[in-house]
Structure 1
């Protein structure tokens, strides 16, 4: 076995920063799958990525010759031989096609039958010939939503591929990938006159990049350097950096020779609301704000450059000028916006379209007022304050700040409503209405914020379904799945006793007050919610069987569904649950064998065995004990009480003959079992659990 080290570097035009780490991970995963397909072993794989390169270093890859077996299945044995045991025409044609004598054929046997089998063993292509194919295949399989095309061949990738390096130890592996020939010249830093760096041995990678031009190819090392540098700089001015993981990841993906610098902005800009200031520094300029011990912003920011000049004064001055312009814009817009009260912008929403065929934002605001009034009764929100929050909810969308910085919608509404002396909870709700805005995002904290978020998302969902903008299996352009999950999370986490079906119908009614909305549409939206609910629980790690057992009852009271799923999940972990579920299965099987319906009441006088009397009394005690528990939806306590039935059920089956010769006694015992089944199936469909 021959072991070598393989280096692959794909030189590209600048890759999108937000996708770099994902693209690099996919390239690694796809290439490892290619190695498995060709049965090529290795010790480990090191990954590298910068804005202009994707690289893999495969340590101790097996480059020795390999043999592969090709199996060709022929006709079935029944069709291969006639009654006299002679070969059929089908078998003869197959053997000629395979180039073998029929005596050389093997047999393939499985549960479905038996067939003729031809096994051909031949040499696999040399690894030098396989590698270009494997690399191109790994790149093509990277899922990229928005890819680019370039050159006459019309190749597609995230960005055009300009350079390919494939080295085995110190030997170039010749080949073409996306019509680019391989070589041993690494892509240099964008700022350098020399466009390539020669590499003669894979052991020099990636240190040769750093030695030549301070390029840190390892994403993790580059990220650590950036974090350490910005922390030191912040400490030098008596401040600290907040952990903005997303920004750190993005900046790491923007540079390959990172250098951190401190810059300043005018103190007057600190009068701008802090969230607007932070948004401008972080989101717009990709820089790091610095805070003091009181969590207040200092008039500094740190930026990461892709070059480290000997005289950094010019680059610092340039960044300060750009930052000054950005903050001046924010300051101007903020001052202009304050001249008009938030409430006075309401009528202007009539000129702003919410969605085709769904009217203006003004009409949406009116619907939100009606819907939140109904929701507030369940969320313990002040109804008048909730209506007020709904009225103001979209007024900030036509402010200068939001028109310039759309991501600040809601946040600006909160600031401006506080300026207008609105109640604090109303103001906070204006920002919270858009929460959660992505998977795993935080939820609204105020009751009005929860109500407004549910109302806003529900209005959009019902409106989109009303006009036929329904997500397909692979397309969801309006992010309706995210909105549905947001409503589910708020209702369940905040324990709001909203019935999902009633919420949907109430929202649909606001779109068509004169007519009842087609039940087909409302049922589609309800099914859409239930599907999202199923996947949400599945992602949280709950058993699919437990989820199905509860959702099969089609309950639309989400907090009730949640309590059942949690209670059954707890119950399933108990040792006693195995025997109880086994008993339920046995009871169900016995009852299913009875063709006629089992009806009537249990007759205590027909009980002759001690075990059936004990079981009956235990059931009576259970029903009395759990009556209030069911009304209070304390399913965990109910299931814990079910444990008391375990022994009486076991003794009943051990001692009592169900199919008694007396038909009345027999029916009475079946009724006893039927009563037991109803106890279990009152919570969920337990047939999914055994």
Structure 2
């Protein structure tokens, strides 16, 4: 029976970035499993572990030996391998060299095609222990990292400095040197413990030994569930209700190893501040959880998760309360100080803040947005004067003390200051929602003015940055241009706004005096935004080929694109779909072979047979009706109309010879087919769907 052992690999690090920890440990695990599969090493179940100061993988029932893959190589034919004297040819010798054998070691095999040289190297049993250093080294080096740093005097790169490597195969240390560290059987204690080492004798002891010695819960999801359970219990005990996102819960899980949930309180006077500011400080800056009463009102309590092992929890609570009080006091001071002036009084200060060195100030951007929104507002059915006012005030909060201190709540601060200044609600809300959607699953602006302002802001940024040729590269997108493009598309499609992107970009680009190659900028920006349609529809149930068939037609109005995709997707569910695809395919194949120049119009004098006449009659009808349907985005009706060709065109193919002896009749019949193809192209390129 095959012997089995447990493999343990743990990297001890400085505190890893909370937002990257989960993906780092999954990448590490994936790399190890890929390498084991590559070497055909059987194993049982596996468990991953991740804390701020360690990532680890434990694999059960790994075979202590593995079998190399059998090498089979077919060589050249015998006819090409030897001359008449029986001497090996250059081809045969090169093949033998590639197999690392002497030509005499090759055998001959026969099949239906002839006789060939052949080489087969039988499998060999290897010790798993001997290949594990290579597997571990390769897996660590190829962990997918967003950020990398160097440390010590070596040119090592990792997300954070690696301080320890523990690698065990059963009770045996796997000898490896990486990042100038030798592997061992040592695990690091909790940061607050005086002793820094835990000696692990066998891989099976992990992770229990960590919990026993340091109260460390190494398994990410186990730690996450404990935190969730503890904070829920604590809130309920104090008659409070918690609101938190899974993202925040995962971030908290990523910054603690030994979680202890505690509750603190703050001065009621701070509740007079806008609640979004308080919640932002608690959740985004301090990683605290805010509490609410039954009527969903914020109450002066907060829950936090401590990573400190201590018998004096009151001291920890008091320290966190002081920190939060200081943060709230700063916010209160800034809010009151900012409120002494009207929001529009901050507008001149924008002249001294750069939007971009090559694109002018934020004041310049504000002026461009005002011009843009004047054109956009009628399409979103927004009040033009109110939209211009929202654009004028849109960036004013960026130079307030509050936003300088808490930049992540730009827009929200502007909304509150606008409301204080008695601006109408729609203008105030638009100032807040201009940055939406921030993420792919983020909510969209909620009303017409906000939509218009969001589109204007995003298209101005896209046009400007593309105008100075600072394009996104791979994962590097410092100006969030991909997010801006997707945001524009989502707003236009969701609210059925009939804006032509090409026209919008042309207006935006022409507002920049600093852009020289305007037409190139327009084309590049348009292509970039349209390409992002794939990102939107990729997350839906729509067939990617249908999406491609529409986007390939260079349509520049997003709601037009959306209508076509939905219509073809619906049409695909109907029984007539396949017959129309077959017709389109047959026509395309015929026209592909043609090299003759076709006529612009069908010559009725050359339409001889009744089968031709029936098809031409329907074509003429469709050419007069389809454009009107397309103009109103009625693509389902257009496709149903085109289906009238189904029976007549099949009869046409059965009865009519396309390649007529008379060249003029032949060209006319090919022109008939070309007209049908162009009717389909008015909707999508159906050749993609074959």
- Normalising by the smaller structure, the TM-score range is over 0.9
C-alpha contact 2:290 2:302 (8 A) present in aligned 1: yes
Q: For 1:236-269, what per-residue CA distance to the aligned partner results, in whole angstroms no more than 9, with x for missing partners?
A: 2222111321111110001011010110000000
CA distance in structure 1 between the partners assigned to 2:67 and 2:117 by the alignment: 26
Against the structure 1 CA distance between its residues 96 and 208, is the aligned structure 2 distance closer, same or farther, given a 3 Å change threshold? closer
Against the structure 1 CA distance between its residues 369 and 579, is the aligned structure 2 distance closer, same or farther, given a 3 Å change threshold? same
Q: 1:156 aligns to what SS in structure 2?
A: coil
Q: 1:354 aligns to what SS in structure 2?
A: strand
Partner of 2:528: 528
Q: 1:357 aligns to what SS in structure 2?
A: coil
Against the structure 1 CA distance between its residues 363 and 35, is the aligned structure 2 distance closer, same or farther, given a 3 Å change threshold? same
Give how far 1:589 is off. Answer: 2.5
C-alpha contact 1:128 1:174 (8 A) present in aligned 2: no
Q: Does 1:200 align with 2:201?
A: yes
C-alpha contact 2:168 2:202 (8 A) present in aligned 1: yes
Partner of 2:571: 571
Give how far 1:135 is off. Answer: 1.5
C-alpha contact 2:107 2:119 (8 A) present in aligned 1: yes
Moved more, 467-476 or 185-194: 467-476
**Aligned 1:97-496 pairs, distance under 5 A:** 100-105=101-106, 118-121=119-122, 123=124, 125-473=126-474, 475-496=476-497
CA distance in structure 2 between the partners assigned to 1:497 and 1:107 by the alignment: 71
Give how far 1:302 is off. Answer: 0.3
Against the structure 1 CA distance between its residues 477 and 84, is the aligned structure 2 distance closer, same or farther, given a 3 Å change threshold? farther
C-alpha contact 1:263 1:320 (8 A) present in aligned 2: yes
Partner of 1:580: 580
Q: For 1:7-26, what per-residue CA distance to the aligned partner results, in whole angstroms no more than 9, with x for missing partners?
A: 22221121111111011111
Moved more, 306-315 or 273-282: 306-315
Q: 1:555 aligns to what SS in structure 2?
A: coil
Q: For 1:519-543, what per-residue CA distance to the aligned partner results, in whole angstroms no more than 9, with x for missing partners?
A: 1222222222233234443454544
CA distance in structure 2 between the partners assigned to 1:308 and 1:18 by the alignment: 24
Moved more, 206-215 or 290-299: 206-215
Q: Does 1:509 align with 2:510?
A: yes
CA distance in structure 2 between the partners assigned to 1:162 and 1:108 by the alignment: 56
C-alpha contact 1:167 1:202 (8 A) present in aligned 2: yes
Q: 2:50 aligns to what SS in structure 1?
A: strand
Give how far 1:80 is off. Answer: 4.7
CA distance in structure 1 between the partners assigned to 2:363 and 2:601 by the alignment: 60
Give how far 1:70 is off. Answer: 5.2
CA distance in structure 2 between the partners assigned to 1:637 and 1:483 by the alignment: 34
Q: Does 1:12 align with 2:13?
A: yes
Give how far 1:486 is off. Answer: 1.5
Partner of 2:675: 675
CA distance in structure 1 between the partners assigned to 2:79 and 2:343 by the alignment: 83
Give how far 1:217 is off. Answer: 0.9
Q: Does 1:555 align with 2:558?
A: no
Partner of 2:650: 650
Give how far 1:508 is off. Answer: 1.2
CA distance in structure 1 between the partners assigned to 2:226 and 2:437 by the alignment: 32
Moved more, 488-497 or 21-30: 488-497
Moved more, 39-48 or 384-393: 39-48
Stretches of structure 1 lacking an aligned partner (at least 5 in a row): none
C-alpha contact 1:353 1:360 (8 A) present in aligned 2: yes
C-alpha contact 1:135 1:177 (8 A) present in aligned 2: no
Q: 1:18 aligns to what SS in structure 2?
A: coil
C-alpha contact 2:145 2:158 (8 A) present in aligned 1: yes
Against the structure 1 CA distance between its residues 103 and 316, is the aligned structure 2 distance closer, same or farther, given a 3 Å change threshold? same
C-alpha contact 2:65 2:125 (8 A) present in aligned 1: no
C-alpha contact 1:68 1:122 (8 A) present in aligned 2: yes
Give how far 1:67 is off. Answer: 2.9
C-alpha contact 2:166 2:184 (8 A) present in aligned 1: yes
CA distance in structure 2 between the partners assigned to 1:107 and 1:377 by the alignment: 80
RMSD: 2.9
Give how far 1:44 is off. Answer: 1.7
Stretches of structure 2 lacking an aligned partner (at least 5 in a row): none
Report the TM-score, using the length of structure 2 for normalisation: 0.92
Against the structure 1 CA distance between its residues 180 and 125, is the aligned structure 2 distance closer, same or farther, given a 3 Å change threshold? farther
C-alpha contact 1:68 1:124 (8 A) present in aligned 2: no
CA distance in structure 1 between the partners assigned to 2:130 and 2:233 by the alignment: 50
C-alpha contact 1:136 1:178 (8 A) present in aligned 2: no
CA distance in structure 1 between the partners assigned to 2:628 and 2:522 by the alignment: 34
Moved more, 162-171 or 417-426: 162-171
Q: 2:160 aligns to what SS in structure 1?
A: coil
Q: For 1:30-74, what per-residue CA distance to the aligned partner results, in whole angstroms no more than 9, with x for missing partners?
A: 111111111112122111111111111112112224234456887
Q: 2:191 aligns to what SS in structure 1?
A: coil
Give how far 1:125 is off. Answer: 5.0
Give how far 1:368 is off. Answer: 1.0
Q: 2:150 aligns to what SS in structure 1?
A: strand
Give how far 1:626 is off. Answer: 4.5
Q: Does 1:630 align with 2:630?
A: yes
Against the structure 1 CA distance between its residues 423 and 155, is the aligned structure 2 distance closer, same or farther, given a 3 Å change threshold? same
C-alpha contact 2:598 2:668 (8 A) present in aligned 1: no
Against the structure 1 CA distance between its residues 82 and 171, is the aligned structure 2 distance closer, same or farther, given a 3 Å change threshold? same
Report the TM-score, using the length of structure 1 for normalisation: 0.92
**Aligned 1:576-615 pairs, distance under 5 A:** 576-594=576-594, 595-601=596-602, 603=604, 606-609=607-610, 611-615=611-615
Q: For 1:637-673, what per-residue CA distance to the aligned partner results, in whole angstroms no more than 9, with x for missing partners?
A: 2223433432333333234444456667655544443
CA distance in structure 1 between the partners assigned to 2:235 and 2:475 by the alignment: 45
Give how far 1:108 is off. Answer: 11
Partner of 1:684: 684
Moved more, 528-537 or 77-86: 77-86
C-alpha contact 1:289 1:302 (8 A) present in aligned 2: yes
Partner of 1:29: 30
Q: For 1:133-171, what per-residue CA distance to the aligned partner results, in whole angstroms no more than 9, with x for missing partners?
A: 212211111122322223344321112222222222333
CA distance in structure 1 between the partners assigned to 2:507 and 2:202 by the alignment: 70
Against the structure 1 CA distance between its residues 616 and 13, is the aligned structure 2 distance closer, same or farther, given a 3 Å change threshold? same
Against the structure 1 CA distance between its residues 77 and 347, is the aligned structure 2 distance closer, same or farther, given a 3 Å change threshold? farther
Moved more, 220-229 or 517-526: 517-526
